[in-house]
């Protein structure tokens, strides 16, 4: 599978032919970040995909719920071999920062902080 590269604002890129598409590990990395940041019910064909951020981030004592949901979504992403480390760095009323380290099927490790804002 090949996906279109996203710019810094999360929009598709155009105008550079094949350079606008990602392959291999870069594709896995972008898919993981996109799926973690996506809201449940956004895709009408599968309303169970992604994370119910609207309900989760509004609750107290939500650390375990956030980590469980992120783990579920990341582990089910095509190309992810294993999750090496998953931590919730910070959470406030409507934001969260997640640290994620994983291995891909391409034997390349991915490590990033992912910010969630609603």
Q: What pTM value is reported for the model?
A: 0.87
- pLDDT band at 31; cut points 50, 70, 90: very high
Higher pLDDT, 80 or 90: 80
102 beta partners: 83, 110
Q: Domain containing 12 — which CATH number?
A: 3.10.450.40
- What average pLDDT does this structure show over 38-44? 80
Structure token digits, residue 46: 């599968």
% of the chain exceeding 90 in pLDDT: 52
Whether residue 86 has pLDDT greater than 70: yes
Identify whether the C-beta of residue 57 lies closer than 8 Å to the C-beta of residue 116.
yes
Structure token digits, residue 16: 């550079």
User: For the chain, how many structural domains are there in total?
Assistant: 1
* Domain of 75, in residue numbers: 3-117
Higher pLDDT, 16 or 67: 67
């Amino acid at each position: 599978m090949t996906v279109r590269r996203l710019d810094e604002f999360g929009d598709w890129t155009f105008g550079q032919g094949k350079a606008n598409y990602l392959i291999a590990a870069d594709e896995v990395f972008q898919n993981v970040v996109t799926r973690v940041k996506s809201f449940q019910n956004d895709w009408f064909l599968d309303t169970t995909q992604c994370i119910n951020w609207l309900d989760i981030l509004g609750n107290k004592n939500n650390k375990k719920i956030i980590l469980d949901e992120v783990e579920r979504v990341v582990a089910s992403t095509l190309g992810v071999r294993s999750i090496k480390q998953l931590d919730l760095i910070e959470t406030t009323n409507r934001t969260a920062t997640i640290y994620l380290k994983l291995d891909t099927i391409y034997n390349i490790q991915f490590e990033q902080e992912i910010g969630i804002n609603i």
